[in-house]
Amino acid sequence: MSKQIKVSSNIILLKVLGFSLALILVFTLVANMLPQVEGEAPVEKEVDLGALTMDSFVALGESTFSGKGTCTLCHNNMGRAPDILALKMVEVSESRLQDESYQGKSTDAESYLRESMIDPGIYVVRGFGKKGSNDTISPMPAVNKAPIQLTDVEIDAVIAYMQAKDGNEVTVPLPTEAPVMEVALAGSLPAPAATAEEALGRYACAACHTILGTESPVGPSLTDVGKRLDINEIRQSIIDPNAVAAEGFAIGIMPADFADRMMVRELEMMVQFLANQKG
Amino acid sequence: MKNLSLNLSLNLSLGRQLLLALGLLILLPGNVDPDNGFTLLNSASAAEADSVIGVASMAEAELVPAPKPGRGDYPSVGVSSRSVVWVVAQMHMFFAAFVLAVPLFVLVIEWIGVKTGDDRYDDMAHEFMKISMTAYSITALFGGALAFALFLLYPQFMEYMMRVFGSQTLVYAGLFFAESVCLYVYYYSWGALRYGNRKWLHLTIGLMLNAVGLTLLVIANAWSTFMMAPSGVNEAGAVTGSIWEIMKGPLWNPINLHRFLANIAFGGAIVGAYAAYKFLSARTQEMRAHYDWMGYTANFIAILAFLPLPFAGYWLMAEIYAYSQQMGITAMGGILAWLFIVQAVLIGTILLAGNYYLWSGMSRTEGSIRYTWMVKYIAIVLVAGFLVWVTPHTLILSASEMAELGGSHHHLLGPLGIMPAKNIAVNLMLIFTFMSFQIYRRADKVATVSWEKAGNALMVSIYLVAIANVIFAGVYYGYFTNTVYKVGSSVMQVVSTLMVIVSGIVIDGFMYKGAKILPSVWGRVSNRAQYALFALPVAFTWLMALMGYVRSSVRTHWHVYTVMKDNSPDNYIPTIGHAGNMMTIVTVLFLLCVLFIFWIASLANTKQPPPAPVTSKPS
Amino acid sequence: MNLSNPVVVWVGALLLTLLFFYGMDHFIMLIQGLPLNFDLTPAQ
């Protein structure tokens, strides 16, 4: 005997929908009540090499360490990798070099730190190797390759930071050269600067000379150099700055190797531009 | 002419490779090994192998790196491109999972129908297939929309992917013809191929349908896993390997297994919701009984497929860590870690709903009173386990909060936040869920074998020792040894849980042969229990969206990890709230689509009665 | 062994299971390259 059961489909549909939406709301609320953090993608920043001081270089290292370098993902107190922030890295580096299992090519703390970053597999600190590899394989990626891809300047900055944070002397020199351009697969040379302003920026003239809106007392102002020097004298000041000193300024301060570093096109653009700077 | 024959043999061996890939799915190790890739090629004819290598090296003569689009190179349609692709891709994947899963368990149910001779199984299998027919075309619609969205909004990325995967994409498209043929023939020939040898033909068609479906799954999986862990390309993204090396990255098989199992669980859950809905709107006791049975079967499928999922997920995570520790830690120890707390909420919901349904279902039979006393304790373990699982480790605190707390972690609850505690909780929850399963299955039976007491003693011992082992491994290796042993001990816990499940199935299988069956009444279950069958697919859907988001965002600012950077305006990781809102949007959309599908399925059965004949009134 | 004595049956089942899980623990840790001592402490 089939009993007829009273039922209303619409009510059921509403109940089912209501229940489902309420449950979905619970999940949505959970997601929205948790701490909301956005993950910024790393942005390519132009490092103003001219304005770099040792302090700002070390600070760059510190921000790279916890930022683009993503070092703190593993180098913390959870035991996955040496806790760099807690260790005195120069002393630790020197003791690692003494380890009989060390097979790398470094001789001092700075080179050891650089080697650890570019070729982490060459020496694995005991207890930190990949599981089951008996400390022969390092789980650390090479930081100058993808996905981290730190530039040489950034790597040097991080090393400087690791030295400076414990009060040790920073042996890494400040970068003065323009960073090496990303070399295309075909192995082509970096393109010359497109404009005089770009060339002035590339060779960090504004670090010492007042020009293009920035001021600096280190060298003579260039805003009126076209009035003071003729075009050949301007060229000579760049190629051979120690030949003639500007009035009130000493020789031996301006870098003397621009002739080796600049391209002819860049030099000529700058010379033309400066010759037109008549204040 | 020579080129033509080369192309033909490329496609042929590719197809053969794909079918071999299907067969060897689980057996091959998940590590990329160029030599192993060529081993498979050599199993085809040498001439074909040579031609494949020949074609490959022709293309490799010119190594073209991955493109490097700048921010301005990305087209914009005025709304966030990521959001568009997110919604369309997730909808496609929901439906694809469903239409792949249903034929899998339909085939099994149909086969059980053949074995038992019980028509109910065959009818239920047929009814399940009817539901998935409409879903199939919606899958294709979203797939087409996804392709358009991707080519429109990420042209450089798609150019690269097309270059990497080459003619395999055409194979993928071609397989849909095979899928459609198999699907339509399988469904529409149900009545015509009903008995005897014809039935075996029908089952074979069903098997072919599943084989094609699985091949489609593993091909599409290769695209996702390539984006996470590229293989067969050099550091700049230029193609250096064969299509097999490109497909068989370190994450391919873990994703294959995980998605295979998850699809079945997901499909079962949705079909269960269908049954629950029909149960609630049933107008006769027969209908109630029919849909109660269907709902139980669907829940059985869903929970059975769900139980091994954490292990497949663990394997996937382990392979991610092995491939790139950085990627692994970003997922579980870095910015994405909170997602796994949300995951805990969802899986807790699933387990509680599944268990509650089983407990409610025990009312169908009188024999259940022997076991109902256990339900209270199972519930306590489940809730406690859920609470432990949901406890976070690192709290993002302000300076004053940190001072109050005395550190960045709570001194009591902090230890509950790390993996050892969570592994204990999860494994115990799975063991006790299986216990619910087992007592439900036993509720309507009385064993008649002579060794019943010994068998029960063994079963109880296995439970006790497994539980003790899970706790011991978690506490000792988790808190008192180093990281490496801690991670290794989780395998110990997982195997203990698997031991309980396997031995439970085996022991009960033998012990209840020829058992006395107590009367049970299908349909005698509360309406309230049906809501558990709605909670299950809702939670599964949201969970799928969550895990899909994890898979996608673990690449951070890369289209293809380490090879092609993402420079689009959306290349940052959004807040978890935004991600949750997107998940809610797709879940609600999917819910509406599923209601549409159910409605279509019942519409097909609706017949309007013809109008009453007009009788002329004598004036 | 008196198999009709429930105590024997239960103790036997428990001991058998303990032995099995003990061996399984050793095996699982060993194949991962993480050997254990007899008291299940790490050997490395």
Name the token pair of B524.
Answer: 């005698």
pLDDT at B357: 94
Q: Does the pLDDT at position B2 exceed 50?
A: no
Q: Which residues of B touch C41 (CB under 8 A)?
A: 481
A&C contacts, CB < 8 Å: 8
Give contacts of A17 with chain B, Cβ < 8 Å: 591, 595
pLDDT at A257: 81
For B528-546, what is each residue's pLDDT tens digit? Answer: 999 999 999 999 999 999 9
From residue C39, how far is each of A70, B60, B461, B465, C25 by CA, in Å?
40, 56, 21, 16, 11
pLDDT band at B197 (very low <50, low <70, confident <90, very high): very high
Integer Cα distance of B340 and B478 in angstroms: 19
In the numeric block, which tokens belong to residue B578?
A: 């935004």
Q: How far is A136 from chain C (nearest CA, A)?
A: 13
**C10:B461 CB<8 A:** yes
B516 is written with which tokens?
A: 């006395």
Least Cα distance to B598 among B248, B137, B130 occurs for B130
- Evaluate if residue B235 carries a pLDDT over 50: yes
Nearest-by-CA chain A residue for B63? A185
The mean pLDDT value for B307-327 works out to 89
Query: Two tokens at B462?
Result: 């296995």
Q: Are residues B226 and B189 in the same domain?
A: yes
What is d(CA A82, CA A60) in angstroms, rounded to the nearest whole number?
Answer: 21
B251/B337 same-domain check: yes
Q: In terms of pLDDT, which residue wins out, A146 or B260?
A: B260
DSSP code, position B516: E
- Counting as contact any 3 or more CB pairs under 8 A, the partners of C are A, B
B206 within 8 A of B200, measured Cβ to Cβ: no
Domain that holds residue B490: 366-394+412-519
Q: Does B407 reside within a domain?
A: no
| Strand B558-560 versus strand B445-446 pairing type | unpaired
Q: Is residue B187 part of a domain?
A: yes
Same domain for B246 and B280? yes
Q: Mean per-residue pLDDT for A235-244?
A: 87
- Under DSSP, the state recorded for B476 is I
pLDDT band at A189 (very low <50, low <70, confident <90, very high): low
* Residue B137 forms part of a structural domain: yes
Choose the closest CB to B557 out of A3, A24, A42. A42
**C34/A134 touch (CB, cutoff 8 Å), yes or no:** no
Contacting residues of B for C42, CB less than 8 Å apart: 477, 481-482, 485
Q: What is the mean pLDDT of residues B38-47?
A: 38
Calculate how close chain B gets to C23, using CA atoms only, in Å: 11
The whole-angstrom distance between B343's CA and the closest CA on chain C is: 28
| Ranges for all domains in chain A classified under CATH 1.10.760.10 | 196-275
Residue B283 located in a structural domain = yes
Dihedral angle computed from the Cα positions of residues C10, C12, C13 and C19, in that order, rounded to the nearest 10 degrees: 140
Q: Residues B384-397: what's their mean pLDDT?
A: 77
pLDDT at B138: 94
For residue A72, give the amino acid letter.
T
CA distance A83 to chain C (A): 22
Which among B466, B489, B519 is the end of a domain? B519
Question: Chain A 80-139, CB below 8 Å of chain C: which residues?
Answer: 131-134
B452-472 vs B483-511: helix crossing angle, rounded to 10: 170
Q: Using the beta-carbon criterion (under 8 Å), do B453 and C6 form an inter-chain contact?
A: yes
Query: Distance from A212 to chain B by nearest Cα, in Å?
Result: 28
**Residue C42 touches chain A, beta carbons under 8 Å:** no
Give the best-scoring range by mean pLDDT among A113-122, B317-326, B392-401, B537-546.
Answer: B537-546
Q: Burial letters for B138-176: b for 16+ Cβ neighbours within 10 Å, e otherwise?
A: bbbebbebbeebbeebbebbeebbebbbbebeebbeebb
Decide the pairing of beta strands B558-560 and B564-565. Answer: antiparallel
- Which band of pLDDT confidence, cut at 50, 70 and 90, is reported for residue C1? low
Using a CB-CB cut-off of 8 Å, the residues of chain A touching C33 are: 131-134
Does the beta carbon of B454 lie under 8 angstroms from any beta carbon of chain C?
yes
Distance from CA of A191 to the nearest CA of B (A): 18
User: B344 and B378 in one domain?
Assistant: no
Q: What's the mean pLDDT in B206-226?
A: 97
Q: Residue B3's pLDDT is what?
A: 36
| Beta-carbon separation of C42 and B457 below 8 A | no
Per the model's pLDDT, the better-predicted residue between B216 and B39 turns out to be B216
Q: Which fold has domain A49-164?
A: Cytochrome Bc1 Complex; Chain D, domain 2 (1.10.760)
On whether both B592 and B502 belong to a single domain, the answer is: no
Q: How confident is the model at residue A79 (pLDDT cuts 50, 70, 90)?
A: confident
Give the residue on A whose Cα is nearest the Cα of C29: A132
Cross-chain residue pair B488–C10, CB shorter than 8 Å: no
Q: Is the pLDDT of residue B595 over 80?
A: yes
Locate tokens 């065959």: which residue?
A: B122
Pick the range with the lowest mean pLDDT from A6-10, B384-388, C35-39: A6-10
Question: CA–CA separation, A181 vs A73, rounded Å?
Answer: 28
| pLDDT, position A177 | 61
| Least confident span in A23-27, A232-236, B393-397, C21-25 | B393-397
Query: According to the model, what pLDDT value does residue B333 have?
Result: 76
Check whether residue B113 and residue B222 sit in a common domain: yes
DSSP state of A71: G
Buried b / exposed e along B54-93 (16+ C-beta atoms within 10 A): ebbeeeeeeeebbbebeeeebeeeeeebbebbbbbbbbbb
B213 and B343 in a common domain: yes
The mean pLDDT value of chain C amounts to 89
Q: Is the model's pLDDT at B602 over the cut of 90?
A: no
For residue B335, name the pLDDT band (cuts at 50, 70, 90).
confident
Q: Cβ of A35 and B563 within 8 Å?
A: no
Residues of chain C found within 8 Å of residue A133, distances taken between Cβ atoms? 33
Q: Is the pLDDT of residue B4 over 70?
A: no
Spell out which residues of chain C touch residue A132, defining contact as CB-CB under 8 Å: 32-34
- The model's confidence at residue B396, banded by pLDDT at 50, 70 and 90, is low
The per-residue pLDDT of chain B, averaged, comes to 86
Are B65 and A78 a contacting pair at CB < 8 A? no
Confidence of residue A5 (pLDDT cuts 50, 70, 90): low
Residue B615 included in any domain? no
The pLDDT of residue B39 is 33
> Do A134 and C33 lie within an 8 Å CB cutoff?
yes
Coil, strand or helix: which one is C42?
Answer: strand
Domain shared by B195 and B138, yes or no = yes
Based on the domain organization, do B111 and B259 belong to the same domain?
A: yes
Q: What is the DSSP string of C4-25?
A: TSHHHHHHHHHHHHHHHHHHHH
CA dihedral B277, B280, B283, B287 (to 10 degrees): 70
B561 within some domain:
yes
- CB contacts of C39 in chain B (<8 Å) are none
Instruction: Tell me the chain A residues in contact with residue C34 when contact means C-beta distances shorter than 8 Å.
Output: 131-132
CA nearest neighbour of A30 among B26, B377, C41, B539: B539
pLDDT score for A35: 83
Rounded CA separation A205/A215 (Å)? 11
Which of B283, B333, B335 comes nearest A37 by C-beta? Answer: B335
Q: Which of B40-44, B563-567, B596-600 has the highest mean pLDDT?
A: B563-567
% of chain A residues with pLDDT over 90: 20
* A20 → closest Cβ in B334, B574, B591: B591
Q: What tens digit of pLDDT does each residue of B351-363 get? A: 999 999 999 999 8
ω into B415 cis (within 30 of 0): no
Which positions in chain A touch C32 (Cβ < 8 Å)?
131-132
Chains in contact with A, where contact means 3 or more Cβ–Cβ distances below 8 Å, are B, C
Measured in angstroms, the CA of A207 and the nearest CA of chain C are apart by 57
Higher pLDDT, B313 or B584: B584
User: Does residue B613 fall inside a structural domain?
Assistant: no
Cβ burial of B464 (10 Å; 0-12, 13-18, 19+) is middle
Burial A120-130 (b: 16+ CB within 10 A, else e): beebbbeebbb
* In the predicted structure, residue B568 carries a pLDDT above the cut 80: yes
Verify whether the Cβ–Cβ distance A3 to B539 is below 8 Å.
no
Q: With 70 as the cut, is the pLDDT of residue B334 above it?
A: yes
pLDDT, residue A211, reads 84
Q: Which residue has the tokens 């080697």?
A: A115
Contact assignment for B461 to C25 by CB distance below 8 Å: no
Same domain, B228 and B188: yes
**Best B227, B325, B332, B549 residue to mutate vs chain A (most A CBs within 10 Å):** B325
- Any idea which of A62-66, A177-181, B81-85 has the lowest mean pLDDT? A177-181
C 13-32 residues with CB < 8 A to A: 32
Number of compact structural domains in chain B: 2
Query: What pLDDT, in 10s, does the model give residues B123-137?
Result: 999 999 988 888 999
Give the Cα separation of B265 and B433 in Å (integer).
15
For chain B, what percent of residues have pLDDT higher than 90? 68
Is residue A74 within 8 A of residue A140, CB to CB? The reply is yes
Query: Does residue B384 sit in the same domain as residue B512?
Result: yes
DSSP, collapsed to helix, strand or coil, labels residue B567 as: coil
List all chains that touch chain B, counting a touch as 3 or more CB pairs closer than 8 Å: A, C
In this prediction, residue B398 carries a pLDDT of 60
* B532 membership: H or E segment, kind and range: helix B527-553
* Whole-complex ipTM: 0.94
Q: Band of the pLDDT at B34, cuts 50, 70, 90? A: very low
Continuous segment of H or E residues that includes residue B559: strand B558-560
By C-alpha distance, which of B121, B27, B228, B94 is closest to B541? B94
Asked if C18 is an interface residue toward chain B (Cβ–Cβ < 8 A), one would say yes
Banded pLDDT at A67 (limits 50, 70, 90):
confident
The string of DSSP codes covering B280-341 is HT--SHHHHHHHHHHHHHHHHHHHHHHTTHHHHHHHHHHHHHHH-HHHHHHHHTSTTHHHHH
Q: B362: which 2 tokens?
A: 């025990």
A252 has a chain C CB within 8 A of its CB:
no
Over range B554-573, report the average pLDDT: 94
Residues of B in contact with C32 (CB under 8 A): 488, 491
Q: Does C21 touch chain B (CB under 8 A)?
A: yes
Q: Do B584 and A70 touch (CB under 8 A)?
A: no
Q: A196-275 adopts what CATH topology? A: Cytochrome Bc1 Complex; Chain D, domain 2 (1.10.760)
How sure is the predictor about A4, in pLDDT bands with cuts at 50, 70 and 90? low
Query: According to the model, what pLDDT value does residue B508 have?
Result: 96
Neighbours of B108 (CB within 10 A): 16
For residue B481, give the nearest of C9, C18, C42 by CB distance.
C42
In this prediction, residue B27 has a pLDDT band, given cuts at 50, 70 and 90, of: very low
| Residues B347 and B370 reside in one and the same domain | no
Res B618: pLDDT = 66
Q: Is residue B239 part of a domain?
A: yes
Q: Which of the four pLDDT bands, split at 50, 70 and 90, describes residue B47?
A: very low
